[in-house]
Structure 1
Amino acid sequence: MRPELLNPLFAPVTSIPGIGPKLDKLLRFLLGRSETPRIADLLLHLPVSVIDRRERPKIRDAAPGTMVTLEVTVDRHRPAPGGRSRAPHLVYVSDDTGAAVLAYFKAYPGQVEKLLPVGEKRFISGTGQLFDGILQIVHPDRVIDEEGFAKLSGIDPVYPLTQGLAIGALRRAVGLALTRLPALPEWISPEVMRRCSFPPIAEALNRVHVPVELTDILPEGPFWSRLAFDELLAGQLALALVRAQLRRPAGDRNAGDGQLRRLIIDALPYSLTNSQQEAVKAIAGDLTQPVRMLRLLQGDVGSGKTVVALLAAAAVAEVGRQTALMAPTEILARQHIKTITPLAERAGLRVAILTGREKGRERKDILARLAAGEIDMLVGTHALIQDDVEFKELALAVVDEQHRFGVRERLALTNKGDAVDVLVLSATPIPRTLVLTYFGDMDVSELREKPAGRQPIETRTLSASRLTEVIDGIGRAVGAGKLIYWIVPLVEESEMDGPKLTNAEERFESLRERFGDKVGLVHGRMRGTEKDLAMARFAAAETQILVATTVVEVGVDVPAATIMVIENAERFGLAQLHQLRGRIGRGSEASNCLLLYREPLGEIAAKRLKVIKETTDGFRIAEEDLKLRGEGDVLGTRQSGLPGFRIARPDVHAQLITQARDEAMRILQDDPKLKGERGEALRCLLYLYERDEALPLIGAG
Structure 2
Amino acid sequence: MELPDWMRLQKALSVEAEKGFSDLMGNQYRFSEFLCISFGKTPGVLMPEERRKWQAIATEFVGYSEMTVENRQHLVADTRRFLYQLQQEIQSRSNEESSDPQIKLPRTTPLVAAPSQLPLSLNLDLPLSQVGEIGSYRSKYLERLGLHKVRDILYYYPRNHIDYARQVNISNLVEGDTVTIMGTVKRCTCFTSPRNSKLTIFEVVLKDKTGEIKLSRFFAGTRYSNRGWQEQQKRQYTVGAIVAASGLVKKNKYGITLQDPELEVLDDSGGTIESVKIGRLLPVYPLTEGVSADIVRKAVVAVLPAAKQLKEPLPKALRQQYGLMKVDDAIANIHFPTDNDTLAAARRRLVFDEFFYLQLGFLQRRKAQREVQSSAVIAATGKLIDQFYKLLPFVLTNAQERVVNDILNDLQKTAPMNRLVQGDVGSGKTVVAVIAILAAIQSGYQAALMAPTEVLAEQHYRKLVGWFNLLHLPVELLTGSTKVKKRREIHAQLETGELPLLVGTHALIQDKVNFSRLGFVVIDEQHRFGVEQRALLQQKGQSPHVLTMTATPIPRTLALTLHGDLDVSQIDELPPGRQEIHTTMLTGKERTKAYELINREIAQGRQAYVVLPLIEESEKLDVRSAVEEHERLSESIFPHFKVGLLHGRMNSNEKDEALNAFRDNQTQIIVSTTVIEVGVDVPNATVMMIENAERFGLSQLHQLRGRVGRGSHQSYCLLMSGSKTDTARQRLGVLEQSQDGFFISEMDMRFRGPGEVLGMRQSGLADFALASLVEDQEVLNLARDAAEKVMVQDRNLAGFPLMKAELDYRYSRLMGGTILT
TM-score normalized by structure 1? 0.75
Amino acid in structure 1 at the alignment position of 2:468: A
Equivalent residue for 1:50? 161
Are 1:636 and 2:762 matched, yes or no?
A: no
The match for 1:76 among 166, 173, 192 is 192
1:318 aligned onto 2:439: no
Unaligned 5+ runs, structure 2 = 1-123, 129-137, 207-212, 237-243, 267-271
Check 1:64–1:430 CA distance in 2 against 1; reply closer, same or farther (3 A cut).
closer
- Which residue does the alignment assign to 2:35? none
Query: Match for residue 30 of structure 1?
Result: none
Q: What value does the CA root-mean-square deviation take over the aligned residues?
A: 4.9
Give the aligned residue type for 1:93: F
Select the structure with the greater relative contact order (CA < 8 A; seq sep ≥ 6).
Answer: 1
Q: Which digits, 9 at most, give the CA deviation of each residue in 1:411-465, with x for residues without a partner?
A: 4443432232122223234444544443337555443444466444222333443
Sort the Cα spacing of 1:544 and 1:143 in 2 relative to 1 into closer, same or farther, 3 A: farther
**Unmatched segments (≥5 aa) in structure 1:** 10-14, 28-35, 82-88
- Structure 1 counterpart of 2:633, one-letter code: L
1:664 paired residue number: 787
* CA apart distance, 1:563: 0.4
Which residue type is aligned with residue 765 of structure 2?
G
Q: Partners of 1:149 and 1:266 in 2: how far apart?
A: 81
Are residues 1:286 and 2:410 paired? yes
Match of 1:686 in 2: 811
After superposition, the Cα gap between the structure-2 partners of 1:617 and 1:150, relative to the gap in structure 1 and judged at 3 Å, is closer
The CA distance in 1 between the partners of 2:509 and 2:148, in whole Å, is: 27
Please name the residue that 1:193 is paired with.
Answer: 319
Match of 1:186, as an amino acid? E
> Cα gap change, 1:552/1:251 in structure 2, threshold over 3 Å: closer, same or farther?
closer
| 1:258 aligns to 2:382 (yes or no) | yes
Aligned equivalents of 1:251, 1:56: Cα separation in 2? 69
Paired AA for residue 637 in structure 1: L
In structure 2, do the counterparts of structure 1 residues 131 and 174 end up closer, same or farther at CA, with 3 Å as the change threshold? closer
Counterpart AA for 1:511: L
SS at match of 1:584: coil
Alpha carbons 1:521, 1:534 under 8 Å: kept: yes
Structure 1 residues 390-399 or 594-603, which shifts more? 594-603
- 1:484 aligned to 2:611? no
Q: How has the CA–CA distance of structure 1 residues 531 and 193 changed in structure 2, closer, same or farther, with 3 Å as cutoff?
A: farther
Distance 1:112 1:363 in 2: 77
User: 2:686 is matched by which residue type in structure 1?
Assistant: T
Aligned to 1:337: 461
Correspondences of 1:512-591 after superposition (within 5 Å)? 512=634, 513-516=636-639, 518-524=642-648, 531-570=655-694, 572-591=696-715
Of residues 515, 537, 543 in structure 2, which corresponds to 1:391? 515
Provide the secondary structure at the position in 2 that maps to 1:323. Answer: strand
Task: Map Cα deviations across residues 128-167 of structure 1 (whole Å, 9 max, x no partner).
Answer: 76666499998x5979999997243644344678xxx669
AA matched with 2:807: L
Change (3 A) 1:99 1:190: closer
Equivalent position amino acid for 1:690 in 2:
M
> Which residue of structure 2 aligns with residue 236 of structure 1?
359
What is residue 224 of structure 1 aligned with on the other side? 347
Closer/same/farther in 2, CA of residues 384 and 16 from structure 1, 3 Å limit? farther
CA pair 133-192 structure 1, distance change in 2 beyond 3 A: same
After superposition, give the CA deviation of every residue in 1:511-559 in whole Å (9 maximum; x if it has no partner).
Answer: 3442358444444566655555544443344443333443332222222
Is 1:246 aligned to 2:357, yes or no? no
Aligned partners of 2:528 and 2:760 also within 8 Å: no
Counterpart selection for 1:440 from 557, 564, 568:
564
Task: For 1:92, give the aligned amino acid.
Answer: I
- For residue 236 of structure 1, report the CA deviation from its aligned partner: 1.6
SS at match of 1:378: strand
Find the aligned partners of 1:401 and 1:44 in 2 and give their Cα distance: 35
User: Aligned in 2, Cα 1:7/1:316: closer, same or farther, shift over 3 Å?
Assistant: farther
Distance 1:401 1:638, change over 3 A: closer
Deviates more, 1:458-467 or 1:173-182: 173-182
- Matches of residues 304-383 of structure 1 in structure 2 within 5 Å? 304-357=428-481, 366-383=490-507
Which residue is equivalent to 1:150? 275
Partner of 1:32: none
Aligned to 2:22: none
Distance 1:268 1:69 in 2: 71
TM-superposed CA distance for 1:562, in Å, is: 0.6
Paired position in structure 2 for 1:86: none
Q: 1:587 deviation in Å?
A: 2.0
SS at match of 2:275: helix
CA apart distance, 1:484: 1.6
Number of matched pairs: 652
Deviations 1:340-393 (A, max 9, x none): 233223334343344455586665654454344343223344454455544322
Structure-1 separation of matches of 2:174 and 2:472: 80
Deviates more, 1:482-491 or 1:231-240: 482-491
1:168 to 1:350, Cα distance in 2 relative to 1, 3 A: same
> Using the alignment, how far apart are the partners of 1:145 and 1:385 within structure 2?
70
Residue type at the aligned position of 1:193: R
1:202-221 → structure 2 map (5 Å cutoff):
202-214=328-340, 221=344
Q: Which residue number corresponds to residue 95 of structure 1? A: 204
Letter in 1 for 2:161: V
Equivalent residue for 1:31? none
For residue 222 of structure 1, report the CA deviation from its aligned partner. Answer: 2.0
- Report how far residue 54 of structure 1 moved: 5.9
Aligned to 2:771: 648
- Residue type matched to 1:561 in 2? A
**Counterparts in 2 of 1:63-142, with a 5 A limit?**
74-76=190-192, 90-95=199-204, 118-119=230-231, 121=233, 133=254, 140=260
Give the drift of 1:584. 0.2
**Distance in 1 of aligned mates of 2:619 and 2:345:** 41
The one-letter code of the counterpart of 1:486 is V
Q: What displacement does 1:309 show?
A: 1.1
CA shift, 1:591, in A, is 0.8
CA contact (8 A) 2:375 2:544 kept: no
Mean CA deviation greater in 363-372 or 310-319: 363-372
User: SS of the counterpart of 1:595?
Assistant: strand
> CA 1:228/1:63 → structure 2, altered by over 3 Å: closer, same or farther?
closer
Offset, 1:593: 1.6
Q: Is the CA contact 2:447–2:502 (under 8 Å) kept in the aligned structure 1?
A: yes
Other-structure match for 2:598? 474
Q: 2:633 aligns with which of 499, 511, 514?
A: 511
The amino acid of 2:426's aligned partner reads: G
Label 1:420 to 1:127 Cα distance change in 2 as closer, same or farther (>3 A): same
Q: 1:454 to 1:306 in 2, by over 3 A?
A: same
Letter in 1 for 2:192: R
DSSP 3-state at the match of 2:776: helix
Structure-1 separation of matches of 2:662 and 2:593: 24
CA contact (8 A) 1:100 1:134 kept: no
| TM-score when normalising by structure 2 | 0.66
- Structure-1 separation of matches of 2:591 and 2:390: 47
1:44-80 CA distance string (max 9 Å, x none): 7855543235689999999877668899775225686
Residue-by-residue CA offset, 1:11-45 (whole Å, 9 max, x unaligned)? xxxx962379xx78xx9xxxxxxxx9999999878
Deviation at 1:297, TM superposition (A): 2.3
Contact 1:489 1:571 in 2 (8 A): yes
Residue 34 of structure 2 aligns with which residue? none
**Is residue 78–residue 91 contact of structure 1 (8 Å, CA) maintained in 2?**
no
Structure 1 residues 247 and 654, CA gap change in structure 2 (3 angstroms): same
Change over 3 Å in CA distance of 1:419–1:592 after alignment to 2: same
Distance in 2 between residues matched to 1:502 and 1:19, nearest whole Å: 44
Offset of 1:585 from its aligned partner? 0.8
- Aligned identity (percent) is 35
